[in-house]
Amino acid sequence: DKRMFGFLRRHRTKLLVGCLISAGLYGAYVIRQRCAMLEAELAHEKRRGAAVLRGQFYANQGAVLKTGRLVMPAIRRELEAMADCDALVVRLRERSAELSTEEKRALWQELKNVAVAKAMAVVYVVSLTITGLVVVFNLIGRYVGSESNFDAPVAQLPGGSLTRETQQRLIDRASAHAVDILPSAVVSSKNAVEAVLCDAQLSEVMSHGDIMEVLKQCRAHIESHLHFQALLSKLEENSAQDNNLDVLIREFRDIVESPDFGEVWSDILESAFQHLGVLLLEAFGAEKTAKIHLAKIIPKLVKVGGRLLDIDDPACLSGCLVDFSSVSNLGAIVFLSGEKDIYSAGVIDR
């Protein structure tokens, strides 16, 4: 025992320093462990938050698709009334014997103009409809928490919670507005086709590339005369003193009138017309690379226009638009209150 106490006295400084170092190392180890646990918890919460946002965002996009399917029949009815290719075809078939050569030629020319204008109008109106609904549903999504109600909304409205009644009023207005836009798009499309194709004869031969160039020229004419952002922004504010609805409509206008939206809208239109071009190429069938008479191209355009509006066709433009990256990115930016770094937020994948 004396030897032990002697050893401790002689080496007490070293032992004390050793104990302090050991305690420090252990403390550092504990802190590192706690930091690692905290980082893991934060990463888990971040992933959980991203997963919740992602779920809400894709629910918004699903609601856009569902509402678009409900609006398409009304758009189709109005479009048929304003650009009725079928009625012209029936007149040409059933009254052929009664018509003079000049009358037949005039009907064919009218059918040419209506068929091309109808296909153009479909692309513009459906693109406007779906784009408007994407903004509306993701705008609503900002202010509505997840269905579990455990997660707070992305943003708050000055008028308090966003009720289901206000949400539905905004959705109804956007849906009705899509039909209201249709006459302007049809008239502008007809004017463009008459200007670009006025001298084109039915006997003229064109390839798929030629007719796409015609559509490109028609687009330039239409877009120089019709301001689609202004058309889309014409949602009237509420007259029933629904303050939250008024706030949402003003936010909708601010979004669609912005220069950034103009760039996105150009991308969306480009993708939509590319989709039309793919369907038209399919309609050419074995004649994809050949030049064929314009009289044969007209029925193909009529068919493509019908497919773009047919909600039961996988090629329906409303369904395809929701999957376009430009549309998804727009929805994510609106949903995240203008946050443009949508990938790091985890809402959509790169």
Amino acid at 169: R
The conformational region for residue 144 under phi > 0 = left, psi -120 to 50 = alpha, else beta, is beta
Instruction: Tell me the per-residue pLDDT of 253-294, one tens digit each, with 9 for 90 and over.
Output: 889 888 888 888 999 999 999 999 999 999 888 777 788 888
Residue 246 burial by CB count (10 A; 0-12/13-18/19+): exposed, middle or buried?
A: middle
Give the residue among 109, 107, 124, 269 at the shortest CA–CA distance from 186: 124
- Please report, in tens digits, the pLDDT of each residue of the chain (350 residues total): 555 555 556 656 665 655 655 555 555 554 455 545 555 554 444 455 566 677 888 888 888 999 999 999 888 888 888 888 878 777 777 777 777 878 878 888 888 888 889 999 999 999 999 999 999 999 888 887 544 343 455 556 666 777 888 888 889 888 888 888 888 998 999 999 989 988 788 788 889 999 999 999 999 999 998 888 888 888 776 656 778 888 888 889 889 888 888 888 999 999 999 999 999 999 888 777 788 888 888 888 888 988 998 999 999 999 899 888 888 888 888 888 755 444 444 444 55
How confident is the model at residue 6, as a pLDDT? 59
CB 327 within 8 A of CB 58: no
Instruction: Tell me the per-residue pLDDT of 163-192, one tens digit each, with 9 for 90 and over.
Output: 888 888 889 888 888 888 888 998 999 999
Residue 117 to residue 126: CA distance in whole angstroms: 14
**DSSP run (H or E) holding 206:** strand 205-206
Give the count of alpha carbons within 13 A of 60, CB side only: 36
Task: State the DSSP code for 152.
Answer: -
Bridge partner residues of 292 (DSSP)? 206
Give the residue among 201, 138, 173, 172 at the shortest CA–CA distance from 330: 138
Helix (H, G, I), strand (E, B) or coil at 205: strand
Residue-by-residue DSSP string for 65-90: HHHHHHHHHHHHHHHHHHS-HHHHHH
User: CA-CA-CA-CA torsion for 102, 103, 107, 113, nearest 10 degrees?
Assistant: 50
